[in-house]
Chain A
Amino acid sequence: MVLKNKKGLEMSFQWIFSIIVGISVLFLAIYAASMFFDLGIFQHSTESAARISVLLDPLETSYDYSDNKLSFATEARLYNSCSNDGYFGTQDFQVQEKTFGSKWGKMSDKVSVRNKYVFSNSLEQGKIFYVSGISFSYPFKVTDLIILHTRPYCFEGTDDDIRNSLALLDESKFNVRFENCSNDKNYVQVCSGSSGCDVNIVGDETGGYVEKDNKRLYYANRLIYAAIFSDSDVYECQIARIAKKIANLCKVYEQKTEFTSLRVSECSTDINIKLAALRTTALAVSQSSDVSNDFITELSEPVSEVFQMNDEMSMCKVWEESGYV
C-alpha cells in the first residue's frame, strides 16, 4: 500500500504557539492555586498554634483545675517541644491538621512562648486535647504545670497513696479512669510498684520516679503529674526550664528582701544567703545531663532550708504560702 498523501499533519505556527502558551498558562494557574491552598492551610494551622498559646494563659493562675478542653474541627497533631536556651528557655508549639482526603496539611509555623511549661508527649494527636493546670511550688510558687493529653489514662493498678496524690485529676473532665479499664487496650495503663504497664510509678506522693519506655523520670511532689503524662524529652527539658525559673525567682526574692529590709528594719534576715545557695544549685541543675534526677537529689536540701527559714519569719515572710506542694 502506498501512502498518497505525504503531507502528514499540518500545524500552523499559530496553533503550536497557542498550545505551548495555553499549557504554560494552565500549568501556572494550577500551580498558583495549589500554592494558595497550601498557604491557607499553613495560615490556619499557625493561627491554631497561636490560639493554643493564648488559651493556655488562664491556666497560669494560682488555682488548680482540670476542666479545659481544646477541640479541633478535624483531627490535629500538636507538636510540643522546648528549648533550654536563654534566661528561661522556650516552650514551642506546632500544629498540623487533617485536610481533604484525610491527608495531613502543612505544618504550622513554630509558636514560641517563655512563660509556659506544657507537659505532654512530643506528639499528641486527636480532635480533643484535655488540659489541666496544676500549681507547683518548690519551695515558693514556681509556675503552673500545664498537663495536656489526648489518649485516655487508666490508674487501676496504682496504690491508694498514689491515688490520693493524683486527686486533682477529675475523672469526668480529664479523660482518666481509676477503675474498670484493665481490658480496654486504648487506655494508657498506669501502675505503681509493678512492671508490665505502660507507665510504672516507683515511689510515693512525695517523690520517686516514673518508668516509661525504659526511661526513668524523677519527680518530687506534684511533678508526678508531669512525669506520668509527658515523654522523657519533654519532661527533662521542662524540668531544666523550671530549675532556671527557680533560680530567677530566687534572685527576685533576694532583691525583694533587700527592698523590704531597707524600709522595714524588723524584716532584716539572712534568708538571702540560703536563696543565693538555692539559685546557684538550681542553675547548675538546669545544665546537668541527668536533669530530673539531679533536680530531686540536689535541690531538695536547699529547698527545705529556704522553706523552713521563711516559715519562721512570721510577719516578714518573703513569700506567703501554706507549704510547698
Chain B
Amino acid sequence: MFKRGQFKIQQMAFVLMAIFIFFAMVGLFLVAMQSRGLNEAAKDVKEQKALKALQSLIDSAELSCGVGVMNCIDADKVMTIKNSVEYANYWDLAGAYVVMVYPKFDKRVECSLTNYPNCNLIRVFGQMNGTCPGNFVALCRKESVNGNVYDSCNLAKLSVCPKEIKS
C-alpha cells in the first residue's frame, strides 16, 4: 500500500515535469518566432532609413550647395563637417563618405587638412563598414583663375552606412 502511494506521487511528478517542459518549449518557440520577426522588422527599418537618409543628407543645410540646387554638395562644407566634433553623432547613421568618381584617380587618397583638395575620398563621419548605399552627386567648390572666381564641380558618390542592429 505504501509502495503504491509512492509510485503514484512519482508518476504525478513525472507528469508535472512533462507539463512544465511542454510549456517551456511552447514559450521558447514563441519567443524565437517573435525575436525573428523583430530582427526582420529592424533590418527593414534600417534599410529604409539608409535610403531615405541619403537624399535627406544630400539636401541638408550642412552639405548642400544651396537651396534649390539639386544633387549638389559643397566640398568645403564636407571638409568642415569631417573635422567637426558636433556633427559626429548628428545623423542616426554609422557613417558617410564621399568618393570622387570623375576625374578618375589612380588610387584612393583620403582627404585631410593638409592634402585637400588633391584627394578623392572624404570620410564625412563615422565608419565605412557594411553595405553602404550611395547616390551620384556634384561635388563643388570655389576656385579662381586670373582673379575670376568660378564653381569647380566633379562627379562624386555620396554613400551612407546604416547602424548595425544590436541583438
Contacts and interface: CB of A to CB of B under 8 A. Distances in A.
Which of A43, A252, A316: most chain B CB closer than 10 A? A252
Interface of B: 5, 8-9, 12, 16, 19-20, 23, 27, 30, 34, 37-38, 41, 45, 48-49, 52-53, 55-56, 59-62, 64-70, 74, 76-77, 79-81, 83-84, 86-87, 89-92, 116-117, 141-144, 147, 149-150
A316 B69 CA distance: 16
A60 B90 contact: no
B143 A263 contact: yes
A143 B60 CA distance: 7
Contacts of A61: 55-56, 59
A205 B35 CA distance: 52
A266 B81 CA distance: 24
Given A14-B12, A18-B12, A252-B81, 5 more contacts: A114-B90, A245-B61, A256-B74, A320-B65, A320-B69
A264 B149 contact: yes
A141 B19 CA distance: 65
A54 B61 contact: no
Given A29-B23, A115-B92, A58 B56 contact: yes
Nearest to A135: B67
A206 interface: no
B55 A58 contact: yes
Contacts of A322: 67-68
Interface of A: 13-14, 17-18, 21, 25, 28-29, 32, 36, 39-40, 43, 47, 50-51, 53-55, 57-58, 60-62, 87-88, 113-115, 135, 137, 140-143, 245, 248-249, 251-252, 255-256, 259-260, 263-267, 315-316, 319-322
Going nearest first, the 3 A-B pairs with the smallest beta carbon separation are: A320-B66, A57-B52, A60-B56
18 contacts: A17-B12, A18-B12, A36-B27, A36-B30, A43-B38, A47-B45, A51-B48, A140-B61, A249-B61, A249-B62, A251-B84, A255-B83, A256-B74, A263-B141, A316-B142, A316-B149, A319-B66, A321-B67
Given A252-B62, A320-B65, A50 B45 contact: yes
A135 B56 CA distance: 13
Nearest to B9: A14
Which of B76, B77, B89: most chain A CB closer than 10 A? B76
B86 to A, nearest CB: 4
Which of A113, A248, A264, A267: most chain B CB closer than 10 A? A264
Nearest to A88: B90
A252 B80 contact: yes
Nearest to A32: B27
Contact of A251 (B20, B27, B67, B86): B86
Contacts of A256: 74, 76-77, 80
Nearest to B63: A252
Given A256-B80, A260-B76, A62 B68 contact: yes
A58 B58 CA distance: 11
Nearest to B74: A256
Given A256-B77, A319-B66, A87 B56 contact: no
